[in-house]
Amino acid sequence: MTDPLIILAVGVLIVVGGIIGLKLHPFLALLLGAFVVALMTPASAIEQFALAKGTAPAAALILAKKSIGERIATEFGNTCGKIGILIAMAAIIGKCMLESGAAERIIRSMLRLTGIEKAPIAFLVSSFFLGIPVFFDTVIFLMMPLAKAMTLRIGKNYLLLVLCVMAGAAMANSLVPPAPGPLFLVGEMHIPIGMMMVGGTIVGLFTITTGYLFAVWANRKWPIPLRDSLDARLEDIKVIAAKETIHLPALGLSLLPVLIPLVFICADTALTAMATPGTPFTSSPFLNKLLNLVKFFGDKNIAIVTGGIAALLILARQKKESKENLTAFVQAALLSGGGIILITAAGGAFGGMLQQTGISARIAEMTKEYQMALIPMAFFIAAVVRTAQGSATVALITASGILSGMANSAHLEFHPLYLGLAIGCGSKLVPWMNDAGFWIVCKLSNLTEREALKTISPLLVIMGLTGLIVIMIGARLFPLI
C-alpha cells in the first residue's frame, strides 16, 4: 500500500469520485485527496523525496517528521504564495475592464481588424505569443474577460474562445523559452536557447492549429453559454455592449491594464537573460538605477498590481459622474477571485502530496531500461509524470533529468532539440484535477468540472500528440546534425 502508483490511484479515485460522483465541492474533494495521499505516504518516502530535490539531510528528516496537517498546509500556502496576488488582482482587472467598457473597446477594435469569423484565430495566436514571455496563468487572467466580452458582442462561440485562449497559452508555456520549464530544459540538455525558441515556435504553431480544429468541433458538439458570475454579470456586460463607442474609453487607455504587466514582465525577462550575476548592467549609475526600476516592476506580482491600479483608475474615470462606489466592484471581484484561490491552492496541496510519495522517481525507475525509440520515450515519460502529479514544469524537469545523459552521450541521429521538444509536448498530457492550471481555467471561464474534463483535457492531449508526430517527422527529414 506504500507504492506511489497505488497511492496515486487512490488519490485519483477520491478526487474524481468525490467531485463527479458525490458532488463534493472541489475544495473539499482536493483537500480530502491530499489528506489520504499524505496519510498513505511513509516517512521514508518523504525523506527520500526531499533529498532528491537537494535538501540537506537534516532538513529532509524534519520534513518527514512533520504532521500530515502541517505538510498539507505548507503546500497549500506555497501555492497561495505563487498565485494568490495574481488571481486576486487579475479578478480586479477583469471586473474593472468589463465594467469600464475597456474590454468592449478592445473587442470592437479587434473585430474591425479581423472580422467576426476570424476572432477566435486572433485569440489563439495572441494567447500563444503572449504565453512566451508571460506565465500561463497570467495570460488566462488577461484574456478571459476579453473572451466574455467578445461572446456577448458576436452572440456565440464562448467555448471556442475559451479553448483558443487555453490552447495558445498552454503550448507556449512548455515549448518556448523563457518560460520556466523550457528554460530549465535547455540548460539540462545543452540545447541552444535560440534553437529551442525557433523549434518550439514552429512545433507550437502546428499544435495550436489542431487545437483550433478540435475547439471548433467541441464548440459545435457541446455549445456552452456564457454564464452569470459574481465578477461578470451578463446584465452589466449587455448594458456596456449597447453603448456607443464614443462613450467607451480610448483604445490606448483600454489596453493599459494588459500592456503594463506585459511590457514590464517582458522587459524583466529580457534583462534577466542578458545580465551577468554580480555585475552591473552598464557603467552608468543612472541607467543602472533605471534598469533596476524596470526589474522591480517586472516582478509578476508587482506588474499585475500596477495593471490593477491602472484598471481601477480607468473605471474611476468612466464612473466619475456616477455615485457608485468602487469598493462594491472590488468586493465582487475578490469574492470571485477568493474562491478560485482556495480551489487552486487545494489542487496545489494535492499535487504536492503526490510528489512527496516519490511518484516521479518511481516513474524514472520504471522507464530507465525502456527500449522504445528516444523521442516517443521522452514524450511518454513527461506525459506520465504530468498526469501523475499535475505540474507541466515538474514533468519537464523530471523528464529532462532522466534523458539528459542519453541526449548528451548517445550517438543520436538527430539533434537533442527534438528530445527537448518531445518532452515539452508530453508535459501537456493529461490535465485534470491535480493541476492548478486546470482549476484556474475552469473557474475563470465558469465551466463545470465535467465540461472542463471533456473539453480542456482532450484539447491538450490532441495538441501534445500532434506535436509528437511533427517532431518525429522533423527529426527524420531535418536531423540538424
Asked whether residue 231 falls in the same domain as residue 307, the answer is yes
DSSP letters spanning 312-344? HHHHHHHTTTS---HHHHHHHHHHHHHHHHHHH
Asked whether residue 63 falls in the same domain as residue 101, the answer is no
Asked whether residue 356 falls in the same domain as residue 324, the answer is no
Distances (CA, A) of 49 to 5, 62, 258, 465: 15, 13, 39, 30
Q: How many helices (H) and strands (E) does the chain have?
A: 22, 0
Asked whether residue 53 falls in the same domain as residue 89, the answer is no
Asked whether residue 141 falls in the same domain as residue 242, the answer is yes
Q: How many folded domains does the chain comprise? A: 2
Asked whether residue 68 falls in the same domain as residue 95, the answer is no
Q: Which of 338, 365, 388 is the last residue of a domain?
A: 338
Asked whether residue 465 falls in the same domain as residue 354, the answer is yes
Contacts of 6 (CB under 8 A, 6+ apart): 40
pLDDT at 468: 94
Distances (CA, A) of 142 to 103, 194, 201: 10, 27, 21
Query: Is the Cβ–Cβ distance between 121 and 253 less than 8 Å?
Result: no
Cα(73)–Cα(81) distance, integer angstroms: 12
State the pTM of this model: 0.70
Query: Is the Cβ–Cβ distance between 307 and 260 less than 8 Å?
Result: yes
Q: Which of 338, 365, 380 is the last residue of a domain?
A: 338
370: helix, strand or coil: coil
Query: Is the Cβ–Cβ distance between 37 and 15 less than 8 Å?
Result: no
Asked whether residue 287 falls in the same domain as residue 332, the answer is yes
Name the residue range of residue 442's domain.
4-80+341-477
Contacts of 136 (CB under 8 A, 6+ apart): 169, 170, 172, 173, 179, 437
Asked whether residue 291 falls in the same domain as residue 397, the answer is no
Asked whether residue 186 falls in the same domain as residue 319, the answer is yes
Contacts of 461 (CB under 8 A, 6+ apart): 428, 429, 430
pLDDT at 371: 41
Asked whether residue 53 falls in the same domain as residue 160, the answer is no
Asked whether residue 216 falls in the same domain as residue 363, the answer is no
Q: Which of 287, 315, 338 is the last residue of a domain?
A: 338
pLDDT in tens, the chain (481 residues): 678 888 878 887 887 788 777 777 778 888 898 899 889 888 888 888 888 777 888 888 888 888 888 999 988 988 788 778 877 887 788 778 777 878 777 777 777 777 777 888 888 888 887 777 666 777 787 778 778 878 877 778 889 999 998 998 888 888 887 666 776 677 767 788 778 878 888 999 999 999 999 999 999 998 888 876 655 566 666 666 667 777 778 888 888 887 888 788 778 877 777 777 767 777 777 787 888 888 888 887 888 888 889 888 888 888 776 656 777 778 877 877 787 788 778 877 877 888 788 776 776 666 565 544 678 888 988 888 788 777 776 777 667 766 765 665 556 678 888 989 999 999 888 887 777 778 888 877 888 888 888 999 999 999 999 999 999 999 888 887 7
